[in-house]
Amino acid sequence: MSLDEFGLIERIRRRTAARADIVLGIGDDAALLQPQADQQLVVTTDTLNVGVHFPAETPPADIGWKALAVNLSDLAAMGAQPAWCSLSLSLPDADPDWVDQFAQGFFQLADLHGIALIGGDTTRGPLSISITAMGQIAAGQALRRDAAQPGDDIWVSGVPGEAGLALALWQQRALDVSRKAGDAALEHLRQRLARPTPRVELGRALWGLATAAVDVSDGLLADLGHICARSGVAADVLEHALPASSAAAQAGLSEAFNTLRGSAGDDYELCFTAPPGQRQALHETMASVAVPLTRIGYIRAGTGVQVINQEGVVQGASKQGYNHFSGAGD
Query: Which residues sit at the interface with Mg ion, rule CB under 5 A?
Result: 121
**How are beta strands 81-91 and 128-138 bridged, if at all?**
antiparallel
How far apart CA 174 and CA 16 sit, in angstroms, is 37
Interaction partner, residue 97 (ligand ADP, Mg ion, none; CB < 5-8 Å by kind): none
Instruction: Sketch the per residue contact string, 166 through 205, with ligand ADP: x for CB under 6 A, - otherwise.
Output: ----------------------------------------
Helix axes 60-78, 184-194, angle to 10 degrees: 70
Listed ranges 60-68, 112-120, 128-136, 146-154: which one lies at the site for ligand ADP (CB under 6 A): 112-120
* 24: three-class secondary structure by DSSP: strand
73/198 Cα distance (integer angstroms):
5
Among 22, 26, 148, 159, binds ligand ADP (CB under 6 A): 26
Complex with ligand ADP: residue 7 or 292, whichever CB lies closer: 7
- Within its chain, how far is the Cα of 168 from the centroid? 18
Q: Which of 119, 153, 121, 146 is nearest to 133 (CA)?
A: 119
- Whole-angstrom Cα distance, residue 213 to residue 231? 11
Among 121, 146, 284, 330, binds ligand ADP (CB under 6 A): 121
Q: Which stretch binds ligand ADP (CB under 6 A): 24-32, 72-80, 184-192, 310-318?
A: 24-32
Nearer to ligand ADP, 15 or 144 (CB): 15
Q: Considering beta carbons, is residue 91 or 296 the nearer one to Mg ion?
A: 91
Residue 46 near residue 70, CB atoms below 8 Å: yes
Q: Which of 77, 103, 116, 117 binds ligand ADP (CB under 6 A)?
A: 117
Give CA–CA dist 195/267, Å, rounded. 10
Residues at the interface with ligand ADP (CB under 6 A): 9, 12, 26-29, 87, 89, 117, 119-122
